Amino acid sequence: MAKTSSRDRMKNEINAGSMADIAFLLLIFFLVTTTIDVDKGITVKLPPWSDEAPEIQQLRSRNVFSVLVNAQDQLLVRGELTDINDLRERAKEFISNPQKREDLSTDPKNAIISLKNDRGTSYKQYLAVYNELKAAYDELWDEECERLYGIPYSDELPIAYKKAIKDKIPMVLSEAEPTNFGEEN
Amino acid sequence: MAHFKKKRGKSSPEVSTASLPDIIFMLLFFFMVVTVLRDGERLVKVVVPEATQLQKLEQKSLVNHIWIGRPIEKYQAVYGTKPRIQLGDKFATEHDIPLFLEQHKIKVPEPQRPAITSSLKVDGDVTMGIVTDVKTILRKSGQLKVNYSARPKQK
């Protein structure tokens, strides 16, 4: 009797119940270790190319916020040497002009930020400057959105809201052809 | 005897499907591993700068990547240390960009073409000269949606 029972046991298949657990363990291991690197960055819309020289527009100098970056990565904002950490605040003040000062923009709609760099400017500095200017607009949009709708600005807002805000504070950032004084490497 | 008969009656087993999920899992692992490896070789060294105002790039199929940086050590003997452009998995010059954009474009269904974004992955230490040249070419080819790749700032 004992013999039969042992033969019976040999007929049994390998217990596959734990295989699923092992598979799950591996799956979880891979899920945890794989880093899905999301591509992030600053999205920009470049102006279309035209072969003709652009028309020279007369702009009132109070409406233009010029930012120059030289090959030594120094910033000249409206004629004065500025630290990059102050750029965001200055740009915000220029665009919104809360105190209605004579030398800042008449209206956010008329404000133009003009960015010019050198061919020798480092990309790091260029992106930092761009980031600060974008941040100035983002913060203004955020404040405007809070004021109008009571919610912070985000890309998921209804298009009508976004349009209303961007009509009020359009982002105008013009990039001039870079100068060619510095050394490229 | 009745005992034995019973056993024989039972012994017409169906094919075990217990291993089926395992096979599926194996396939899953295979694909996971392959997708990670398929990223292609970097010929240039690119460490993108940090920024705060980041936007996510949606829909990977609508994005083409342009890498700008110095050749990695292995290629410096041949290509020098000046910043170079990498398109796909080979070195290129800015004149190769229009063709590269066109090759990517034909793979995208027509209604989605206006949403194509060029992701510029530029090393932080590269000077703006080469970046400007690339930007000019992009503008001339009508590829106006550009994303300056950056990583989130470590606080």
Q: What is the ipTM of this complex?
A: 0.73
Query: According to the model, what pLDDT value does residue A153 have?
Result: 83
Is 60 exceeded by the pLDDT of residue A179? yes
Helix/strand/coil for A90: helix
Residue A77 near residue A136 (C-beta atoms within 8 A): no
Whether A160 maps to a domain, the answer reads: yes
Report the alpha-carbon distance of residue A70 to residue A179 in Å, rounded: 9
Which of A26, A40, A178 minimises the CB distance to B132?
A178
Whether A91 maps to a domain, the answer reads: yes
Size of interface A-B (CB pairs under 8 A): 147
Whether A52 maps to a domain, the answer reads: no
Whether A18 maps to a domain, the answer reads: no
Which of A11, A19, A42 minimises the CB distance to B53?
A42
Q: How many domains does chain B have?
A: 1
Residues of A in contact with B120 (CB under 8 A): 41
- DSSP structural state of residue B52: S
Whether A105 maps to a domain, the answer reads: yes
| Residue A21 phi, psi (nearest 5) | -65, -40
Contact A184 B123 (CB under 8 A): no
And the tokens for A49? Answer: 């190319």
Is 70 exceeded by the pLDDT of residue A16? no
Whether A46 maps to a domain, the answer reads: no
Whether B25 maps to a domain, the answer reads: no
Residue B130 belongs to domain with CATH number: 3.30.420.270
Whether B120 maps to a domain, the answer reads: yes
Whether B11 maps to a domain, the answer reads: no
Whether A149 maps to a domain, the answer reads: yes
Residues of A in contact with B44 (CB under 8 A): none
Query: According to the model, what pLDDT value does residue A147 have?
Result: 87
Range of the domain at B66: 44-152
* Digit-coded pLDDT (tens) for B91-139: 888 889 999 999 999 988 988 888 899 989 999 888 888 888 999 999 9
Whether B16 maps to a domain, the answer reads: no
| Closest Cα in chain A, distance from residue B127 (Å) | 4
Average the pLDDT over A60-79 and give the result: 86
Tell me whether residue A91 is exposed, middle or buried, using C-beta atoms within 10 angstroms of its C-beta: 0 to 12, 13 to 18, 19 or more.
buried
- Give the up-direction half-sphere exposure of residue B22: CA atoms within 13 A in the CB hemisphere: 12
Whether B136 maps to a domain, the answer reads: yes
A74 - beta bridge partners? none
Is 60 exceeded by the pLDDT of residue A8? no
Whether A107 maps to a domain, the answer reads: yes
Is 50 exceeded by the pLDDT of residue A1? no
Range of the domain at A164: 62-175
Whether B22 maps to a domain, the answer reads: no
Q: How many domains does chain A have?
A: 1
Whether B147 maps to a domain, the answer reads: yes
The residue written with tokens 């119940």 in the block is A17
Is 80 exceeded by the pLDDT of residue A104? yes
Higher pLDDT pick, B155 / B3:
B155
Distance in Å from the first CA to the final CA of chain A: 89
Mean pLDDT of chain A, nearest integer: 81
Query: According to the model, what pLDDT value does residue B37 have?
Result: 47
Whether B110 maps to a domain, the answer reads: yes
Contact B128 A121 (CB under 8 A): yes
Interface probe with B: pick from A4, A27, A42, most Cβ of B within 10 Å? A42
Q: Predicted confidence band at B6 (pLDDT cuts at 50, 70, 90)?
A: low
Contact A122 B139 (CB under 8 A): no
